[in-house]
Amino acid sequence: MDNEEKLLGATLFDMAFRVTLDGTRHQRPELNEAEALAVLRERLRLARNLERNSGVL
C-alpha cells in the first residue's frame, strides 16, 4: 500500500467516523461531545465482538 492509498484510507475512515458520530448525536441530543464519543466507542466495541463471535459482520 503506497502513501496515497494510506491517506485515502485514513480520509475515508475519518469521514465515516464523523457521519457515525453525527448519527449518535442525532439519536441522543442530550449527550455532550465526550459522552457521544463514549457511546460510539461502545457501539464499535459491540460490533467487533459480534464480528468475532458470529462472523456475520
- pLDDT tens for the 57 residues of the chain, in order: 888 888 899 999 999 999 999 999 999 999 999 999 999 999 999 999 998 988 655
1 within a domain of the structure (yes/no): no
pLDDT of residue 1: 81
Could you tell me the sign of the dihedral formed by the alpha carbons of 44, 35, 28, 22, in that order? Answer: negative
Q: What is the pTM of this model?
A: 0.72
Task: Calculate the alpha carbon distances from 37 to 17, 22, 49 in Å.
Answer: 10, 10, 18
- Report how far residue 57's alpha carbon sits from residue 22's, in angstroms, rounded to the nearest whole number: 22
Polymer length in residues for the chain? 57
| Residue 28, helix vs strand vs coil | coil
pLDDT of residue 57: 53
pLDDT of residue 13: 92
Domain range spanning residue 34? 29-57
48 within a domain of the structure (yes/no): yes
21 within a domain of the structure (yes/no): no
13 within a domain of the structure (yes/no): no
pLDDT of residue 54: 83
40 within a domain of the structure (yes/no): yes
Domain count along the chain: 1
